[in-house]
Amino acid sequence: MPDHTQDQTALLIGELTDQRLTIAVAESLTGGALTAELVRIPGASVVLNGGIVAYNTELKHTLLGVDSSVLNVHGAVHPDVAKLMAIGARTQLAVGGVRADVGVSTTGAAGPDPQDGQEPGTVFIGLSMGNGSWAVPLRLEGDRDAVRAQTVARAVEAVRDLLARIAAE
């Protein structure tokens, strides 16, 4: 059982709850693991609108609204795709017509083979909040499982960092 005093996901769920913010997730390489990590925390239902696993590149366009020209030019492993996925999650997982406050996405090459010309361990986390969107580039080491697990942990960290940055402004 994780120690919730040092559990970054529990801290994130607490911060979102305290700030009355909702979050929506769009996943590719993590295949639902990020959403599952958020759901692991009791009380996540107050803040988590849901998650979309768009593993197939075409679904990034049809389900999340990622511009097909961006996908055609850059492939699915690109910072712009990560940002657009995060924006799309907020929109597609709206509740009562209200977009989620925060969107987070994961896209990348987990391995063992390259994807869209990107080496395994190349990952982008997308973030969207307010009118802004950001991509966090990562170069991760390890096998497929390690890259996926590190991506989940880094995505939680990235959302916490975003909330701290917004609060400081």
The CA-based dihedral angle spanning residues 96, 157, 150, 63, taken in that order and rounded to the nearest 10 degrees:
20
91: how many CB neighbours lie within 10 A of its CB? 14
- Over residues 91-114, the mean pLDDT reads 96
Confidence of residue 162 (pLDDT cuts 50, 70, 90): very high
Q: Is a pLDDT exceeding 80 seen at residue 6?
A: no
Picking from 149, 18, 126, 145, the residue whose alpha carbon sits closest to that of residue 78 is 126
Domains and CATH numbers, the chain: 8-168 (3.90.950.20)
Q: What is the mean pLDDT of residues 83-106?
A: 97
Using the predicted structure, report yes or no on whether residue 118 has a pLDDT greater than 50: yes
What's the confidence (pLDDT) of residue 5?
A: 46
Residue 130 has pLDDT above 80, yes or no: yes
pLDDT reading at 4 higher than 70: no
pLDDT at 2 over 60: no
Segment 18-48, tens digit of pLDDT: 999 999 999 999 999 999 999 999 999 999 9
Confidence bin at 155 (pLDDT 50/70/90): very high
Task: Evaluate the omega torsion of the peptide bond into residue 79 and state whether it is cis, within 30 degrees of 0.
Answer: no
The number of CA neighbours under 13 Å toward the Cβ of 95 is 14
